[in-house]
Amino acid sequence: MKKITIAIDGHSSCGKSTMAKDLAREVGYVYVDTGAMYRSVTLFALRNGLFTDDDINEEELRRRMPEIHISFKFNPETGRPDTYLNGELVEKDIRTMEVSNKVSPIATLGFVREAMVAQQQQMGKDKGVVMDGRDIGTTVFPDAELKVFVTASAEVRAQRRYDELKAKGMDADFDDILKNVQERDYIDSHREVSPLRKADDAIELDNSHMTIPEQKQWLLDRFNEAVNG
């Protein structure tokens, strides 16, 4: 069976990562969570004092970008890949609201996106990869054989994020999360470099009222069509 590249883009907290991870595991592909990569850069910036209030020390971050190496290792206990920043497991650290509130400004920086896109393209050069993010089908892999654009209402996405954080035993406030989701939508869609938009040849999925098994089956069907078509 031929190997293809699968690009899944969409709004924050719309479940695209869950769909992508499940598909990768189902078909034996490599999964890359590009959102986790930008979150890792944000965590690095926070840990190294590169934020002053809401401002980023862009010059210092640009200088230190070569120090940032992000990788993914399969976790046999969860059946999913974990994110590593310079060899350190940061899967939980990058999911906090502190990181969520800072990640969009980091992701708008051209030199950050350039560095991350280069790493992503290297990871996917041999095909057989499922990658999700904001600009995979438009910038990272414009020639991907299967492109999906996932969306859902802001309220549904905020509730999912709230439930996810509570399930992990982390503090969560629905109104704060909804505000964060709406702000990220605006920033992601209006940034100058690789803004979030649906690729012309992407298949759109609004999963506001779909269960996870239904989403999983829908994506598997699209994969089979792309591979056998």
Tokens representing residue 30 in the block: 């490599």
pLDDT computed for residue 90 by the predictor: 97
Quote the DSSP letter at residue 138.
Answer: I
pLDDT, tens digit, 9 for 90 and up, residues 139-180: 999 999 999 999 999 999 999 999 988 998 888 899 999 999
pLDDT computed for residue 112 by the predictor: 96
pLDDT computed for residue 8 by the predictor: 96
pLDDT computed for residue 75 by the predictor: 84
pLDDT computed for residue 44 by the predictor: 98
Angle of the 97-107 helix axis to the 34-47 helix axis, nearest 10? 100
Residues (pLDDT < 50) of the chain are: none
pLDDT computed for residue 187 by the predictor: 85
Quote the DSSP letter at residue 93.
Answer: G
pLDDT, tens digit, 9 for 90 and up, residues 200-219: 999 999 999 999 999 999 99
Angstrom distance (rounded) from CA 103 to CA 106: 5
Angle of the 154-167 helix axis to the 174-190 helix axis, nearest 10? 120
**CA pseudo-torsion sign 122, 128, 133, 138:** positive
